């Protein structure tokens, strides 16, 4: 077994406390239970352990009668879409990947699968899925003086965001050299400035912003947030490709 998989696997003879320590260390909420030959024989989650405590088990109890023997796994000879289909099931949060001998060779989680598909990464079941854990698909919402934005998808050729502008607030007048933007207003009312043209917008309005065009989004309502879905297309999506000309909050 690869050394990296040791963080996500455990033998059935260990105590609940040892399993909890490993679950806390890997921050995944689960372990794959393997025998002495590294064959996957079950799984154990923090939920399984919680239910074991309810049944009267202690931290010193062995996990042998706690772990789940009725589990779903996938062969490394299967394709990625077979894994995607299994992970659509609400009850399956992760999949152990085994070889023809039943040995654990990889693991993929539901969140990693979502990231893989959204980032358009072409991979087979030998891919190191841990590389996907810190991608922008999983980012929290970022607070700004005018509201917040959350990146939904980021890959090499586009980025998608949800932008929420508080009542009577506005973004800076800005431009970008390396991306164009497409906005769809999902909720609220406001105005969009593109160069010298200012256009009223409301739910369902779509706006195209070419590279280099000065633009600004303003919420004109005094009660409701203005929510926009933004798709950026280009070769770079960093925040340092923002050129500010005017800004209510002193950032220009």
HSE toward the beta carbon, residue 199, CA cutoff 13 A: 14
**What is the C-alpha separation between 248 and 251, in angstroms, rounded?**
8
**What is the C-alpha separation between 91 and 94, in angstroms, rounded?**
9
Question: What pLDDT is recorded for position 139?
Answer: 64
Query: In percent, how much of the chain has pLDDT > 70?
Result: 97
Residue 11 has pLDDT above 70, yes or no: yes
Instruction: List the strands of the sheet with 179-187, edge to edge.
Output: 142-144, 147-154, 158-165, 226-234, 179-187, 206-209
Domains and CATH numbers, the chain: 3-135 (3.10.580.10), 139-246 (2.60.120.10)
Name the residue with higher pLDDT: 97 or 119. 97
Task: Report residue 119's pLDDT band, with 50, 70 and 90 as the boundaries.
Answer: confident
Digit-coded pLDDT (tens) for 127-157: 999 988 766 565 678 899 999 999 888 888 9
Q: Which of 113-117, 121-125, 221-225 has the highest mean pLDDT?
A: 221-225
Distances 96 to 41, 49, 75, 76, 87 between C-alpha atoms, Å:
10, 19, 9, 10, 11
pTM of the model: 0.73
């Amino acid at each position: 077994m690869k050394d990296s998989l040791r963080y996500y696997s455990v033998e059935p003879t260990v105590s609940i406390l040892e399993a909890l320590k490993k679950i806390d260390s890997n921050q995944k909420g689960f372990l794959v239970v393997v025998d002495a030959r590294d064959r996957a024989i079950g799984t154990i989650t923090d939920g399984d352990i919680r239910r074991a405590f309810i049944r009267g088990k202690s931290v010193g109890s062995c996990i042998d009668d706690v772990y789940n023997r009725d589990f779903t796994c996938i062969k490394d000879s299967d394709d990625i879409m077979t894994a995607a289909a299994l992970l659509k099931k609400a009850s399956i949060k992760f999949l152990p990947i085994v070889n023809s001998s039943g040995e654990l060779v990889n693991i993929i989680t539901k969140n990693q699968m979502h990231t893989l598909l959204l980032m358009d990464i072409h991979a087979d079941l030998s891919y190191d899925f841990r590389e996907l854990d810190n991608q922008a698909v999983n980012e929290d919402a970022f607070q700004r003086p005018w509201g917040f934005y959350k990146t939904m998808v980021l890959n090499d050729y586009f980025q998608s965001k949800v932008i929420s502008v508080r009542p009577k607030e506005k973004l800076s007048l800005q431009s970008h050299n390396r991306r164009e933007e497409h906005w769809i207003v999902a909720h609220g009312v406001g105005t969009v400035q593109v160069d010298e043209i200012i256009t009223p917008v409301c739910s369902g309005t779509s706006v195209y912003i070419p590279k280099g065009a000065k633009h600004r989004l303003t919420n004109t309502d005094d009660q409701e947030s203005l929510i926009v879905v933004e798709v950026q297309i280009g070769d770079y999506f960093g925040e340092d490709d923002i050129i500010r000309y005017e800004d209510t909050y002193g950032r220009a």
